Amino acid sequence: MRRGLRLTSGLATGAALAAALLTATAAQAQTPRPAAAGSDELSAISCTSTHYCIAVGAQHVNRLGAGTSLALAWNGRGWQELPTPATSKSGSSLAGIDCLSARRCIAVGSIGSGSKTLAERWNGTTWRRLPMPAHDGALHAVSCTSARRCMAVGSDHVCELAEQWNGTTWRLVSTPSPCGPPQSGGLTSVTCLSGSSCQAVGNYMPDNETWLTLAESWNGIKWTRRGTSSPGDLASLNSVSCVSAARCMAVGSGFPVESRGQAAIAESWNGRAWALLSPSRRGAPATLNGVTCLRAAWCMAVGSFTRGALFPQAQTWNGGIWQMAQGPDVPGTLSGMSCPAQDRCLAVGSSGLDDFAALWNGARWRSVTSVPSP
């Protein structure tokens, strides 16, 4: 299956790469259904408390894939749609969000098919589009440490891309790009502890067939590339979370030799180097797309695995091993998550035909109904 799948785009996000591989496996059992007009897909979520979260993504408006950005608010019991600004006829999507409070959120994404970067700010009442440098590409994630300090990362279709917000304007930040034909790279996730301490992860292609994991560190002045362990020749890190400068966890997917197929992977950062870990495995193709760590001995990661179709997967880290978390046992995939408390996490994604969300209560996950499409 690894050699039979051909990805034709110049660069895919880590989650997109993992999803393509999983979908190819699921297709052996059933034919995937295309996104229907009006169907929603949620990519990321940020919670400021157990009763306030905002999730972002895209709503498909036709079967050709054009869509418009989507934002939903969670109040602890249900969802409410938050209308986003109109962009252009080519549509838009939001892929990442970070909220400092219920009145201060930054969301990032792209206009059209990733042709231009996009950023929007939530003030508690409305969304407002923020001006960005005239640059081709897509932003996949954002992390803010104050209202005047945010870092967003993504790809310009060839190289990794980073932009910094100072409360007034965005500016491009130079990255140690592993670029130039046939090499390309991109960043899929970022987490910042301060204006001078960020970790970002993603993937890069040293040639036209191989995908390897990528990690970079920001010290307030420049990005530095860090060595990672790439299991197999199709590997990606999709999400990263840090509790200190010397305690970070990144998750994704790869092809470890012992797994005999696609498997979820994790790597830990000790302040000096990344080390490969072994998440729990169901014996089925799997990926982890999102991770949140509240302390060094507790992380939650979400994603999906293949069992005829795609099903949600969640795992917890106790400081020594990864263990499967219970439920929900319904079709779907989870793309992003946020945990305001160890016994309260909210994860979002897609069921294939509509958006999908699941709530963690400290013992198990259960699906929670999202807002119906108008």
Higher-confidence position of 65 and 147:
147
pLDDT value at position 25? 47
What pTM was estimated for this model as a whole?
0.89
What is the longest distance spanned by two Cα atoms in the chain? 51
pLDDT in tens, 63-120: 555 578 999 999 998 999 999 987 767 789 999 999 999 999 999 999 976 679 999 9
In the chain the domains, ranked by start, together with CATH numbers, are 14-28+36-367 (2.120.10.70)
> Whole-angstrom Cα distance, residue 258 to residue 286?
14
> Whole-angstrom Cα distance, residue 35 to residue 295?
38
Q: Cβ distance 287 to 304 under 8 Å?
A: yes
Q: How confident is the model at residue 168 (pLDDT cuts 50, 70, 90)?
A: very high
Q: How confident is the model at residue 38 (pLDDT cuts 50, 70, 90)?
A: very low
pLDDT value at position 206? 84
What residues are paired with 180 via a beta bridge?
183
SS3 per residue for 91-123: CEEEEEEEEEECCEEEEEEEECCCCEEEEEEEC
